[in-house]
Amino acid sequence: MKKFFRFLGLALLVLIAIVLIKTFSLGSRQVPAGSIESVSVSDDVFQNLADAVTYKTISFSEDTPPDSTAFFGFHRFLERTFPRIHNQLELEKINDYSLLYTWQGSDSSLKPMILMSHMDVVPVDEPTLSDWEAGPFEGAITQTDIIGRGTMDDKGTLMAVMEAIEKMLEENFSPKRTIYLAFGHDEEVGGPRGAKQIAARLKSKGVQAAITIDEGGFLAEGLVPGIDRPVAMINLSEKGFASFRLIVETNGGHSSAPPEENTIGILAQAIVDLEDNQRPYKLVNPVDYQLEYMGPELPFMQRVAFANPWLFKKPILKALNSHTTTAPTIIEGGVKNNVIPTVAEATINFRILPGETIESVKEHIIATVSDKVRVESVGFLTNPSPVSSVESENFKILEQTIRDIYPNSIVVPGLVGGGTDARYFYDISDDVYRFYPIRLDPTSLTRFHGIDEKISKENYLEIVTFSYHMIKRFNQ
């Protein structure tokens, strides 16, 4: 017995030693910050963004056609506001509403660069209108902020990129590589007619870009427990998206003589079965990068966990939501309180982790629910995107630019749970990154697609400045 305890004690010591060695060998991945020249930007940019907000370029649903007055009005507004761009860049309209600008580079041996954003916005919930500081489409400017739908998502980025380029043209800058500006008009409904067609158009021209930059990464503040500094999330990949309808059909009947298995009961059981049998948490690429980059910056106890995912995998992966999520979103069935329905249906939405597919999720559902339930895919579906590199020259330039402009920040590559238009560009671009320096904190996070969407003047200038430097750095 004594021997056994001695062995146990020794094993524990070895374990602690391994855990500590792993922790201390987890060195910071942050590149040293260099310097960068400051950019002077005119105060007109605030009014320009406020004006952009007044065009109600709303995406209501996949089947609702765009409001042509709003979109064409917005196009004309861009022409008026950015005369140099419209003089010197080539502009193609894709499917009438989406815009593709080409800024010809001087060195045709260099692969192009694609800068993306989208001009459509989500609708505003009517009952919440009174909770806004100013009308969502009014274009109000306060001492500190520009208020309105689209300021964060995604007209803020679109306008900032345009401001940066207009300024560069004014300074007679000409890029070495060709730069495409790809502005979709239906991102909020999956981008099938906008970004997807822009990517197809570029592909038909034989374009293979070096790098694509889109929305979907942020300067996160106070969102990572244990890190006080802004975290610059460069998202390398996005989860897939799929919804499945569970359909139960029976003979129904009178509620006074219910059958042993009721339509609604079978459906309810299927939902419970899916919730009880969630897809497993997995340490996949690029979540492993997230651990590597974030881990060293954490306080000691958290660092121990991040340095030893082999031992503390579950809680970390849970915190990072690193699995295919299961969310019942719609349920329907029944018409009268004394009638057992013949049909009951539920829709379950899944956000698919890289490594899994729409097909594997469907197989999981069929294997989990009773065979009395029919399973059909519904609506927009997309597999997880590929994962872009953190080793490439492209990533290094982007990373260095961010560190130089925000020396206090920590760059962390990762995976975004929501969807972006960027998913269509992997086919025509070596690397696809999601990052613009929109500052997100626990308060502003809720404004995204929500009430009182706004951006601070200071932050907006940061996005203009970032776009300016990023374009320069990729064209030196």
Binding site for Zn ion (CB under 5 A): 153-154, 215
Residue 167, both tokens: 């300024």
| Residue 187 annotated in active site | yes
Sequence-ordered list of residues with C-beta below 8 angstroms from that of 408, at least 6 positions apart, any chain? 229, 230
> Which residues share a beta bridge with 233?
412
Nearest to 202 by CA among 92, 75, 78: 92
Candidate list 120, 153, 186, 462, residue with the active-site label:
120
Whichever of 163 and 238 has its CB closer to Zn ion, that residue is 238
| Measured distance CA(18)–CA(23) in Å, rounded | 8
Residue 288: CB minimum distance to Zn ion, A: 27
Whichever of 148 and 341 has its CB closer to Zn ion, that residue is 148
Residue 188: CB minimum distance to Zn ion, A: 7
> Which residues share a beta bridge with 326?
350
Whichever of 215 and 399 has its CB closer to Zn ion, that residue is 215
| Measured distance CA(67)–CA(457) in Å, rounded | 29
Q: Compute CA 333 distance to the chain's CA centroid, rounded to the nearest angstrom.
A: 34
Residue 284, both tokens: 């996949």
| Measured distance CA(130)–CA(443) in Å, rounded | 18
| Residue 359 annotated in active site | no
Residue 153: CB minimum distance to Zn ion, A: 4
**CA R_g for the chain:** 25
Whichever of 154 and 345 has its CB closer to Zn ion, that residue is 154
Residue 216: CB minimum distance to Zn ion, A: 7
- The per-residue DSSP string of 82-115 comes to -HHHHHHSEEEEETTTEEEEEE--S-TTSPPEEE
Whichever of 169 and 440 has its CB closer to Zn ion, that residue is 440
Residue 138: CB minimum distance to Zn ion, A: 21
Residue 319, both tokens: 């915190």
Whether the Cβ atoms of residue 452 and residue 132 lie closer than 8 Å to each other: yes
User: Which whole-number Å values give the CA distances from 86 to 74, 79, 256, in the listed order?
Assistant: 14, 6, 72
Residue 57: CB minimum distance to Zn ion, A: 12
| Measured distance CA(47)–CA(163) in Å, rounded | 12
Residue 202: CB minimum distance to Zn ion, A: 20
Candidate list 153, 163, 166, 187, residue with the active-site label:
187
Sequence-ordered list of residues with C-beta below 8 angstroms from that of 323, at least 6 positions apart, any chain? 278, 279, 280, 281, 282, 317, 353
Whichever of 56 and 303 has its CB closer to Zn ion, that residue is 56
| Measured distance CA(52)–CA(16) in Å, rounded | 58
Whichever of 183 and 293 has its CB closer to Zn ion, that residue is 183
Start-to-end C-alpha separation, the chain: 71
Q: Give me the active site residues, please.
A: 120, 187
